[in-house]
A and B are shown apart, each in its own frame.
Chain A
Amino acid sequence: MKCNHVEDRLPFYVENEIDAAERREIDSHLASCHSCGESLAVYVQLEASLMQRRERVPAAGPLATRVMQQVGYGRRHDFLRVLVEWPAMVSSAFVTAGLLILFGFNPFQGTLE
């Protein structure tokens, strides 16, 4: 295997994106080629530096909160909640009161006196 071909394949070699046969050929070349060995060392250092870039992505939670505030999701949600939940709550209260009266308990006893 010639140096220019090995040099070209080293990025894939470091990422383990080559098959076993090619890896053996490159290993064999690297065993005796100082220049390609130096190139490999730089690619390994580069790969390690690139892998650290994932740590620079900020946490998603605070961003999501800011976006939700900007698009007014909280405010719209509250409005929808009032529109949907309050009538349901009021209806439930009347149904409950009706059932209680039906079963002989007057929830309004004493309030009219």
Chain B
Amino acid sequence: MTLKGDTDAQLVAKSLDGGGRAFRVLVERHQPLVYSVARGVLGTGEDVDDTVQDIFIKVFQGLSRFRGDSRFSTWIYRIARNEALNAVRKRRSGMDSIDDVELMAPAADRPDEQYRRGDQQRVLDGYMAQLDENHRVVLELRYMGEKSYNEISEIMDVPIGTIKTYIHRAKQELKRKMMTRTVDGDQKASRHHEV
């Protein structure tokens, strides 16, 4: 008997009845959403995968408290965001000084270094790390989580116009950074040729 056609509410009910397969389907169904939120809040880092796992454990522990008065995806989004923010605090509490923060920043947060290696995704990671957190989360939900504007609006319980504004501003900022990089790259190449 396949569970993949069940609604979230049906899967929650079966999970609470001890249906392990139902909970597995819930995890697999919402993993892109949770992963996108974790990446949006945390950026890159070895703690992202652990945080995603912790989020689903929290979901399991709180399953009996899901009342159905909001969408399950909205409910899981709130848990994901809170747990990801806890992970950020844990990162910061393990650092003694601002210098440590810079040392611990993954290489993806140093776009120039990655640019030299021509790794476009890591360059993008670095630029995205500099975005406003809401903008970054929405962008990751849209592209990493493959959610439509309507879905993101429902998940985050935010008007669709606001979602479009977030994505618009995020892309404008990323475009500005990309064009600045291109200009800097051209200038460096020009100086190299002069030498």
Contact = CB atoms under 8 A, between A and B. Distances in A.
B171 A46 contact: yes
- In this complex, the interface size class of chain B, counting residues with CB under 8 Å from chain A, is 35 or more
Interface in A38-60: 39, 42-43, 45-46, 49-54, 56-58, 60
A43 B56 CA distance: 35
A74 interface: yes
A67 B34 CA distance: 13
Nearest to B176: A42
6 contacts: A11-B175, A46-B175, A54-B32, A56-B39, A57-B32, A68-B23
B178 A63 contact: no
Interface of A: 11-12, 17, 39, 42-43, 45-46, 49-54, 56-58, 60-61, 63-64, 66-68, 70-71, 73-74, 76-77, 80
Contact of B143 (A42, A50, A70, A77): A50
Nearest to B24: A64
Interface of A is mostly: helix
A58 B49 contact: yes
A51 B145 CA distance: 10
A63 to B, nearest CB: 6
Contact of B179 (A42, A67, A70): A42
Interface in B95-124: 120-121, 124
Nearest to B124: A49
A67 B32 contact: no
A71 B23 CA distance: 11
Contacts of B139: 50
Given A43-B175, A46-B178, A67-B27, A77 B18 contact: yes
